[in-house]
Structure formats: structure tokens, C-alpha cells
Structure 1
Amino acid sequence: MRQDDGMSDLYERMVDSRGARIAVPIVAAVLLVVGLAADPWIGIPALLVLIVFVAWLAYRSPDSTSGLARLRVLMVGILVAVAVGRFLTAVLG
């Protein structure tokens, strides 16, 4: 039996909300564009927020055995690589 806590309630409300289904991809796209196009000191935090959010969604997702779960892990890995690349470019370049 699964214990409900505040985080699972938030996840379930977000998944069930029609507005969230529209807003989440838009906010994620904006964070990605800002993370890639803005000055590194603005872009890197935007990418970190996106990484945390995508990782939280992947962790809270009920399906952890399908190919979609692997795709979520791949997405987090790509975002981490992009954030590290942006950081190294800002520091070294």
C-alpha cells in the first residue's frame, strides 16, 4: 500500500490537471530555450531547474519498467551534459 505524502498529491494533481498539461511543456520549453540561448549565468540555473523538474517527474512516474522510463533517464542525462557543457564553456571560455 502506497503512503500518500504532499509530493505524491502534488504529482497526481498536476497529472490530472488540464491546465498543467498545457503549461508544463510550455514552461519546460521556455526553460530549455533560456538555458541554451541566454547568458550562462542565467542559462545554467534555468537548465538546473529543468533538470530537477524532469528528474522529479521521472521519479514520480508510476511506470518505471518501460522504454519510456529509459527515455526519461536519457533526457535527464542529456540535460545534465548540456548544463555541464554550458558551465565549462562559461568558466573556461
Structure 2
Amino acid sequence: MDAHEWLVVNALPGMGALRIAQLLARQPQWPAGWLAALPSRAASELRLWLEHPARSPLQNVIDETLAGSRASQVGTYCIVTTPLGLHC
């Protein structure tokens, strides 16, 4: 999964660190395994983002998060992205 995909998972309704960690322990394939394992509302929102990112409210969350990250990380290169955020 890339940074955008982790940001989407973090932004899904009902997805906190514990639930994400539980899903990661099951090692689902992206995206089919995640869609199958997520609660229905979260799966629906993820499906919309996967099929029509521009129509998904999740895309705004990604854009805002990345813009804020870039602004606060001037001169720093982030090399690892996890479900808990960017680590530099």
C-alpha cells in the first residue's frame, strides 16, 4: 500500500489504530481483502474512492493531509508511511 492508500484507510469511518492493527495482522490483499474485511460503511466509502477518487470525500482528506505534511516537513524527507502516519 502506498501513502495515499494508508491515508484513506485512516480516514475511513470507524477506523482507529486498534482496528487497523487487527486488520493488518490478517494481512489482507489490497484492495479486495480490505474491502471484504471492512465494516460495510467503511467498505462503501473505500470502494467509492477506488472507483471515483474525485467524487469521494476521502480524496479531500488525503489532499489536505499531504499538503499539511509537506508544509510542516520542509527540508525533511519522509521515508516510511504506516497506518499511524508518516515517519521521517
| TM-score, scaled relative to structure 1 | 0.33
Higher helix share: 1
Higher strand share: 2
Rg: which structure is higher?
1
| TM-score, scaled relative to structure 2 | 0.34
